């Protein structure tokens, strides 16, 4: 279960503190899928980074499966993110010098010991790239790169998958394919899925929908 309580995030400016998030609370369980919409600069990515422990809140708490990441040491926090959280960004952030398979396996270099190659190959099959394992990112389309990024995010079997504008750089056809893939994988491998997006088409695919307005989360029908 993911529990966030009263998350506040301030940024310092020459004119003083600017409050981006104003006391956000969430409760999500395995199998829940939530989309969050909102204006540019409204704090969607900031919220995602707090939930995934990539950034720290000004105040408030986050707990995932009984662990409170902001109370961990730096080393323990890195292990927590690697084992429990998967990230998919708008820019796929693939390593250009590595093959598709190597990119998917990259997070396992610092994960618990084990043979991750069979899972990586299975994930690439599931995202439709089983025949492209030796290709480099430069040989892939934008949609294919994003599918590799999704497989990479899932390689360590995280409980929480966070997607920051996962279709933002894609054309309509590829955006629809990636949206369908995310929902299909969510059905196959139950986890907590949260996506922030400007796209109503993507947001409406999710059973739970919210909007971030003026630093607060509101339910969206």
Phi, psi of 212 (to 5 degrees): -95, 110
Q: Is-contact 81 52, C-beta < 8 A?
A: yes
Residues 189-208: tens digit of each pLDDT: 789 999 999 999 999 999 99
pTM of the full predicted structure?
0.93
Residue pair 194/166 in contact by the 8 Å Cβ criterion? no
DSSP labels, 176-219: HHHHHHHHHHHHHS--EEEEE-S-HHHHTTSSEEEEEETTEEEE
The pairing of beta strand 192-196 with beta strand 33-37: parallel
Q: How far is it, in rounded angstroms, from Cα 169 to Cα 182?
A: 16
Looking from the CA of 64 toward its CB, the CA atoms found within 13 Å total 22
N residues, the chain:
221
| Residue 64: per-residue pLDDT | 96
Q: Are 5 and 60 in contact (CB under 8 A)?
A: yes
Can you give the residue ranges of every domain in the chain? 2-219
Tokens of 174: 């590829």
The 10s digit of each residue's pLDDT in 80-111 is 999 999 999 888 889 999 999 999 999 999 88
Residue 68: its pLDDT value, please?
96
Architecture of domain 2-219: 3-Layer(aba) Sandwich (3.40)
* Nearest to 10, CA basis, from 67, 56, 76: 56
- The low-confidence residues of the chain, meaning pLDDT below 70, are 221
């Amino acid at each position: 279960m993911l529990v966030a309580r009263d998350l506040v995030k301030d940024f310092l400016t020459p004119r003083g503190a600017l409050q981006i998030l104003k006391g956000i609370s969430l409760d999500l369980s395995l199998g829940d899928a939530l989309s969050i919409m909102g204006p540019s600069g409204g704090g969607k990515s900031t919220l995602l980074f707090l939930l995934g422990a990539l950034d720290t809140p000004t105040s408030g708490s986050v707990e995932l499966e009984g662990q409170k990441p902001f109370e961990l040491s730096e080393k323990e926090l890195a292990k927590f993110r690697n084992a429990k959280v998967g990230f998919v960004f708008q820019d796929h952030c693939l390593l250009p010098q590595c093959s598709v398979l190597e990119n998917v396996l990259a997070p396992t270099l610092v994960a618990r010991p084990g043979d991750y190659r069979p899972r990586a190959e299975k994930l690439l099959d599931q995202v439709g790239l089983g025949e492209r394992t030796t290709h480099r990112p430069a040989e892939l389309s934008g949609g294919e790169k994003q599918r590799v990024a999704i497989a990479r995010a899932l390689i360590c079997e995280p409980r929480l998958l966070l997607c920051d504008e996962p279709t933002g750089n894609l054309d309509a056809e590829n955006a629809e394919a990636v949206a369908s893939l995310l929902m299909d994988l969510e059905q196959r491998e139950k986890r907590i899925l949260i996506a922030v997006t400007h796209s109503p088409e993507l947001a409406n695919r999710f059973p739970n929908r919210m909007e971030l307005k003026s630093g607060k989360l509101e339910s969206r029908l």
